Structure 1
Amino acid sequence: MPNAVSASFAVTGYPREVGAGWLEPRLTYLGHLDVSLHIEPIPQQVAAMRLRRQLARLESASRSDAQYGRLQDLGAEAAADDATDLADSLARGHGRLFKVGLYLTIHAPTEPELAAEVERIRALASSLLLDARPATFRALQGWTTGLPLGVDSLGATRTFDTTALAAAFPFTSPDLATEAGETSRVGRAGRDRGVRSDAGQVLRHYKGQEAVERRYQAFKGPLAVTSLYLKSNRRIAALITVICLALLIFCLIERQVRDALAARGAAKVDGLYAGRPAVPTGKLVLDALASIRLIPGTGQSPPTIPQPTDLQLDLLDLLDIDPRDLR
């Protein structure tokens, strides 16, 4: 990449048991580390079928060892107990199975610095009993997997149950209470900026995550239309930049309409959704304006919008666009 290098790793081995927030040491790492967690639910019927097959294999191996007088395989016995517990949990509806891929992308300005960062990350992974394998010959796929696109290009997944997956989320986050009753961020971003927030601000930021995550769906929308083949990293970066700019305009349209509504003392636009009042979103606004036609102007006459609806006129007014003066 321009002025930087990176390396990607896929976590392929995990400890048998994990505690709450076991992924937190990765998220509070001092260097430039991107942690990507891809989660895909496994249908209940498929999960139950796989567990039955696994139990049958383990039971067959255990009986074969007993028949031929071989020593008992303690690992297989533990695996059989775990599979039995999982099958019981699925049958009772207490949990589900998920395909989970955990990937790490390390960034550094130079190759020697990257090599040092890689050694630190591998040591940290070993301390957590995680086996991190480099994405050898698949550096591009590793880099794109770490981007917020929801695309797992490496496909190095393991099966997790609900309890193990929930323990991965860092709800025991790096926010430490101070004597003054405030909260101090000790993560990398917090250390860089010296951020301090009270409990109310922390709660508002935490609740606001959902608004950011909603944008991922809009971000991935253009890529879901058709597959694209790009020859170089520069073109990949250019495409992502264009999509980010489009998403920025999308968000600014929504913000402008909502701010103009607030100035009127209102929160909804009449007739915006199926003829009913609705809180304006970027998608609803663009859908309502999609049928607008623009007649280009000539040297003597300005551009015009023929026969806009009342809803379209209201939205144009909220966007501070005068349909009579489009020059």
Structure 2
Amino acid sequence: MEVMVDLDLAALRAFVAVVEEEQFGHAAAVLGISQQAVSKRIAKLESQLGAELFERGRGGSTPTAAGLRLLPHARSLLVGAEAAVRSVRERVRPLRVAVLGKRMAATELMEFYLARHPRCETEIVMSNMITTSREALRSGLVDVALARAHGGPVALPGDIVAAPAYLEPLYLLVGKDHPFAGRSTIGLREVAGHPVWVPGAAVPSEWADFYRELSAFSGIPIDTGGPLENMAGIVERIADSSSLATFAGDGGQTPWHPNVRRLMIVDPTPAYPLALLWSAGDRHPGLRHLIEHVAESYNRDTAAACWVPEPDQELFGVPGVVAGP
């Protein structure tokens, strides 16, 4: 039966130091111990292994054939030991996830995740129209982005992986005096010819491309003029108008107003395709858990009733819809 030998890491460290410094005295200085201590460690190692590891001469110490065979393994063991210590002492930074704004579906999705997994070390990073969640991912500021996978002025790098996260149905918001105000639902093509105000689509972005593609499919003119307001300002203007209308996603937090009516859009329901995006090379230990959660919670059952732009259809499993008259 082969006898197991428990190698002393301190002795291995002394052995590697002598090989690299070529003298016991120099190795002792590097290690911060006495030359006698280095000699004792090497002697202990030679006794354990039953082989001489150095040839000692006036010019210094050179490794024997046995020493040369041991050297790569000794270095590997020392590297592994250091990695083991770091894995315990170093605290893994939180997984950083970029979302676009506080009132968006992506934020709601992440808050739902964190509420059910409170021990997950995850940090939500708020992006904006200037530094979007996709740009935060591209620049390495975050590990994950929740955003549309297609469109926008700059394509995603080839190493970015995309998975469907949420199909967010769009509703039509109108004021109480709008011609559509008495409705609870409305067909998508019934809105054709009636401009819908989406000031945020004035910014070159993946969501601007989404509304451009929706307009081309449905015949709905998208009005991007006027001030670039937040959702609260948009709702105020809709409430005071008899002609303005806007889109709102059902996953976001639309400010309540007594004079605003919310209509479900059907046949088909336009949906914003929110994807989970991450780099294939990211090895953060918290990434896999989030990917699995999003895969399990994706609302795939709604896909058959939805419309998304053609580039997103395969990823989200949405059947292509032919535009009608």
More strand by share: 2
Q: Same fold (TM over 0.5)?
A: no
Give the alignment's TM-score, normalised by structure 1: 0.22
More helix by share: 1
Give the alignment's TM-score, normalised by structure 2: 0.22
